[in-house]
Amino acid sequence: MTQAKTRPWNFSAGPSVLPVPVLEQAAAEMLDWHGCGMSVMEMSHRGKQFVQICDEAEADLRTLLGVTDDYAVMFMQGGATAENAIVPLNLIGRRGAPVADYVLTGHWSRRSHKEANRYGDAQVAAASDAATVLDGREQAPWTWVPPVSDWHVRPDASYLHLCSNETIGGVEFMDWPEPAALGAPEVPLVVDASSHFLSRPMDVSRVGMMYAGAQKNAGPAGVTVVIIRRDLLGHALPICPTAFDYANVAAESSRYNTPPTYAIYVAGLVYKWLLGQGGLAAIETANRAKADLLYGFLDGSSFYRNPIHAPVRSRMNVPFVLADAAQDAAFLAGAEAAGLTQLKGHKSVGGMRASIYNALPLAGVEALVQYLKEFERTHG
Ligand SMILES: *Cc1c(COP(=O)(O)O)cnc(C)c1O
């Protein structure tokens, strides 16, 4: 084997950093899971070992989030992108006419909306697509969240979709709206929570369903978590693939067909790691400390700038720009040399982005702030 390089501080938006103890345990169990003489990758998805792994992952996830039995918890494939289609395929026709509403706050919610229009009439309930003034400051499009009182939800919509953490833009809903606040009690909320899933306690009882690709904050690529209220099952459009019909997947405890067994296993290790950290309230405290440190530094500097309306700044994905974009390349090269990797922003917004997920410790953010200071001192 080659000598392992020192682990860099990894700010990737996804696939992203995993907890070291999780990687160590997966490595230790690679050839022999719990004395059965096999790797998890080699097991039947219907054998008793994998059934135990999968059921434990589900149980731990329910414990972390406080999910009641009114909801099914499923491990699926295809990522959040596939859910953009699977959601309407399952839900858009549940009340007759295929009608659903979408709140647009950035790249990912726009992608979801666009896909839904292939299956029905998906309208925009609210969008931050224009500049506005908030708290006396000019906010550019996609850097703020329209207030719930301005959302126009059609009473006959099958659901209302939003993305509660825009991974690229860095806009986060600090809370999911209460159903009563939407003025349309029959319309369940459907949330893409991919990039802040398990970053803090979340009140699942406020949503009809939520989904999250694991590779952002909660595991390796290949598995998507879906949590759905059971009364929403069983309304799929006739064209919905049977493997993507939530009712089938839920009835078979995520094993309707072969699930992504190894990814579920590693995600399960992440859930156990989170429980060991003290659960979601404890990880929220740690995430707040990291975000406060980074935003506090950016706000105190005139060399760097984060454009997001302060109350909805994501604690997971922190985009920022340098005063002079001509220095971006030097910034990134210097960061790599200092052991800080994957800081380049998404091409649609430019600049930089630091994703500071659960598994990135405070020391990583401290190292980033140290580098930001040093770069400003030598290039400012
Ligand atoms: C990454 C991401 C997606 C797309 O995930 P895939 O796994 O690539 O399909 C969708 N929504 C959000 C919020 C994301 O962060």
Instruction: Catalogue all structural domains in the chain, each as residue range(s) with its CATH number.
Output: 40-276 (3.40.640.10), 279-379 (3.90.1150.10)
Please give the pLDDT value at position 261.
98
Give me the pLDDT at residue 373, please.
98
Q: β-strands 9-10, 340-341: how paired?
A: parallel
Beta bridge partners of residue 122, listed in sequence order:
100
Mean pLDDT per 10-residue section of the chain, whose length is 380 residues: 76 98 98 97 98 98 98 98 98 97 98 98 98 96 97 97 98 93 93 98 97 97 98 98 98 97 98 98 98 98 97 98 96 98 94 98 98 96
For residue 141, report the distance from its CA to the centre of ligand 1, in Å: 21
The response to whether 181 counts as a known ligand-binding position is no
Q: Which of 87, 102, 108 to mutate to test the pocket of ligand 1 (most atoms within 8 A of CB)?
A: 108
Structure tokens at 215: 């590779």
pLDDT at residue 179, as a whole number: 83
Q: What is the pLDDT of residue 4?
A: 59
Give the pair of three-digit tokens for residue 353. 């982005």
Separation between Cα atoms, residue 380 and residue 376, nearest integer Å:
5
On whether the CB atoms of residues 186 and 159 are closer than 8 A, the answer is no
Ligand 1 proximity of 192 Cβ (cutoff 6 Å) = yes
Return d(Cα 104, Cα 99) in angstroms, integer: 16
Atom of ligand 1 nearest to the CA of 213: 7
**68 is annotated as contributing to ligand binding:** no
Residue 3 has a pLDDT of: 56
pLDDT score of 180? 87
Ligand 1, residue 163: give the atom nearest the CA. 13
Asked if residue 82 lies in contact with residue 206, where contact means CB atoms within 8 angstroms, the answer is no
Q: In angstroms, rounded to a whole number, what is the distance separating the alpha carbons of residues 1 and 30?
A: 16
- For ligand 1, whether the C-beta of 106 sits within 6 Å is no
Q: Say yes or no: CB of residue 123 within 6 Å of ligand 1.
A: no
Nearest CA residue ID for atom 10, ligand 1:
80
User: Is 257 labelled a binding residue?
Assistant: yes
Count of CB atoms within 10 A of residue 242's CB? Answer: 11
